[in-house]
Chains A and B, each alone.
Chain A
Amino acid sequence: MDSNNYSCQQQPIVEFDKVSFDFNGYKVLEDIDLNLCEKDLVAVIGPNGGGKTTLIKLILGIYRPSTGTVKLFGGPPEKKRHNVGYLPQTSSFDFSFPLNVREAVLMGIYRGAGKRYGKKDYAAVDIALETTGILELKNRHIGMLSGGQVQRMLIARALVNNPGLLLLDEPMSGVDPEMQASFYELIKDLNKKMAIVFVTHDIGVIAEYFEKVICLNRKLFYHGPKEGSLGKLEATYGCPVELLAHGAPHRVLKEHLH
């Protein structure tokens, strides 16, 4: 797809070069070319099993591509991922783990083996909790939070290190509808400082908040501002681009200015 790639003003922060990923003999992602630039705000959509979480994990170097290369901030993902804030889709941790909110958020900061935390780090935790609106819960045990509060804590953990790139894998799960609007405002606000990749099923909001859209269904189908051949893409690959186009064509697909 000629529209999959576009150039950034500076060096792209994420570069996929002909990346494929197989899992147990099944092609999850195939032939992905992708650039993300500084301060991009990108929504990732696509059907279940389309490879959205896999894409996130490839960026982070949790998965390695079967073929092709992934670069993060110009280097190998394992070496650069400390500059990425990450909110996983599913949290594998144990909510009865003896840890409070502040300690959990502190885990987002790591300066190397044996380095201890200082006042600056605790202040950063307070700021991150303030940003996500749960500062008053900082001494609470993680098992005593609601679903939405857990998401806020995990976003604070992703933010606390002031990353250059924020990867949010379905961050809206568990967030009640009234809170969602303020959440998107928070995302927009954060985007002034960092690039954000946002995996979502909520197609309705894309028009309003996101400037670029990636659609994944094994292949990467649409990325960035070009409008051409959307209907064909939908028919062939099952990406809900028609919804996008019909929802708010001019806003969704407006030219992205660099």
Chain B
Amino acid sequence: MAFFEYEFMRNALIAAVLVNVACGIVGTYVVVKKIVFISGGISHAAFGGIGLGYFLGINPILAAIPFSLASAVSIGLMSRRTKISEDTAIGIIWSLGMAMGILFINLTPGYAPDLFSYLFGNILTVPLFDIYLMLGLDIIIVIIASLFYREFLAISFDEEFAAVSGVAVRVFYFLLLCLVALSVVILIRVAGIILVIALLTIPASICRLFTYNVRKMMFYSVLTGTLITLAGLLLSYYLDFSSGAIIIIFASAVFFVSYLIKKFIKPGKMT
């Protein structure tokens, strides 16, 4: 296929895998712990980091790392340490981050090139540096997630009991939000800020329908997500539409079809 002879296609392929390693692992926790909207808040707030990157004249993705980590910790602190309810905290940090992004871009003289690609993503234009960055963040996520698998599982299942059994619940909750923040950074180039939450949750939600085991759910999510991303990429290439949008529309379609298929599978047959 002529398709893979282009360097940008090879990068797109690698990016698809790297993105879905993060999505499969962290997305599984996002789905089972039901922190989809916290993750949505963190991902939108990351726009502030993109703006900051423009303003400082550095790679916006690099600037997004500390910014997303800070918004993850802020949402966590607001919802856990104050009487502000969780969804209020999400709403505030979500819009505050985006507003700061716009402000930083206003402050930056001249035109902001490829701003759109950060908002909507473009898997075909991921630069090599960003590929290495994604790889580095993936490695961090895999190490932390496998070291503390037990802790993350415990706080996702039953926080109160986890605390009683001796798990430092607050520490691991914040660490999990930080992993979400890092995944968001990995995803920005591919899915764009607005669509990040879809790749973080849809593959894991699909796999949850078919397994009762968290490790399997992660593994299947990495595979499913990668296949969906590649299929969406091919579709967008031939249809000439935005890759981010096509990938997510395709992922949603797979989810609905899977949901229907699941109706015909007896729960006893699942593992």
Tell me the A residues contacting B by CB distance below 8 Å.
60, 62, 81-82, 84, 86, 88, 91-94, 97-100, 103-104, 107-110, 112-117, 141, 143-144, 157, 161
Asked whether A114 lies within 8 Å of B167 as measured between CB atoms, the reply is no
Q: Tell me if B214 is interfacial: C-beta within 8 Å of chain A.
A: yes
B158–A98 contact, CB under 8 A? no
Measured in the bound complex, the distance between the Cα atoms of B217 and A60 in whole Å is 33
Q: Which chain B residues lie closer than 8 Å to A115 at the CB level? A: 150
B163 sits at the interface (CB 8 A): yes
With A86-B164, A100-B212, A110-B150 already in contact, 14 other A-B pairs whose C-beta atoms are closer than 8 Å: A62-B164, A81-B164, A82-B166, A92-B158, A92-B160, A94-B157, A98-B213, A99-B153, A99-B157, A113-B148, A113-B168, A143-B267, A144-B267, A157-B161
Question: Roughly how many angstroms separate A82 CA and B154 CA in the complex, as a whole number?
Answer: 14
B246-271 interface mask toward A, CB cutoff 8 Å, 1 = contact, 0 = none?
00000000000000000000011010
Task: Closest A residue to B171 by CB, please name it.
Answer: A113
Q: Which residues of A contact B148 (CB under 8 A)?
A: 113-114
Q: Would B147 and A93 count as touching, CB distance under 8 A?
A: no
A-B contact pairs, 22 of them (CB 8 A): A62-B164, A82-B166, A93-B157, A97-B156, A98-B208, A98-B214, A99-B153, A99-B157, A100-B212, A100-B213, A107-B153, A107-B154, A107-B161, A110-B167, A112-B166, A114-B151, A115-B150, A117-B150, A141-B270, A144-B267, A144-B268, A157-B161
With A81-B166, A82-B166 given, is the CB distance from A99 to B161 under 8 Å? no
Pair A62/B166 contact, Cβ less than 8 Å: no
Determine the chain A residues whose CB is within 8 A of the CB of B34 once the complex forms: 94
10 smallest A-B Cβ distances: which pairs?
A: A82-B166, A141-B212, A110-B165, A93-B158, A110-B166, A98-B212, A86-B164, A114-B147, A98-B214, A81-B164
Residue of B150, B165, B211 most packed against chain A (CB within 10 A): B165
Q: For A91, give the chain B residue with the smallest CB separation.
A: B158
Number of B residues contacting the other chain (C-beta, 8 Å)?
A: 30
Chain A binding surface SS class: loop
Among B157, B162, B165, contact of A97 (Cβ-Cβ < 8 Å): B157
Question: Which A residues are CB-close (under 8 A) to B163?
Answer: 62
For B207, give the chain A residue with the smallest CB separation: A98
Task: Indicate the member of B159, B161, B163, B213 with the most A CB atoms within 10 Å.
Answer: B161
Q: Does B78 contact A (CB under 8 A)?
A: no
CB neighbours of B194 from chain A (8 A): none
Give every chain A residue within 8 A of B150 (Cβ-Cβ).
110, 115-117
**A141 and B217 alpha carbons, distance in the complex (Å):** 14
Within the assembled complex, what's the spacing in Å between the Cα atoms of A88 and B211? 27
Residues on B with beta carbons closer than 8 Å to the beta carbon of A98 = 32, 208, 211-214, 217
Q: Which residues of B contact A92 (CB under 8 A)?
A: 158-160
Q: What residues of A have a CB within 8 angstroms of the CB of B213 in the complex?
A: 98-100
The residue in A98, A109, A113 that gathers the most chain B C-beta atoms within 10 A of its C-beta is A98
> Given A98-B211, A141-B270, A82 and B158 touching (CB < 8 A)?
no
Closest to B208 in A: A98
In the bound complex, residues from chain B placing their C-beta under 8 Å from that of A141 are 212, 267, 270
Q: How distant is A61 from chain B, measured CB to nearest CB, in Å?
A: 8
Which A-chain residue is minimally distant from B217 (CB atoms)?
Answer: A98
Interface centre among B162, B166, B213, B270 (most CB of A within 10 A): B166
- Separation of A81 and B161 alpha carbons in the complex (Å): 11
Q: How far is the CB of B20 from chain A (nearest CB, A)?
A: 19
Bound complex: CA A161 to CA B32 (Å) = 26
By the criterion CB–CB under 8 Å, are A60 and B157 in contact? no
Instruction: Please measure, in the bound complex, the distance between the C-alpha atom of A161 and the C-alpha atom of B166, giving whole angstroms.
Output: 12
Pair A107/B157 contact, Cβ less than 8 Å = yes
Q: Which residues of B contact A104 (CB under 8 A)?
A: 157
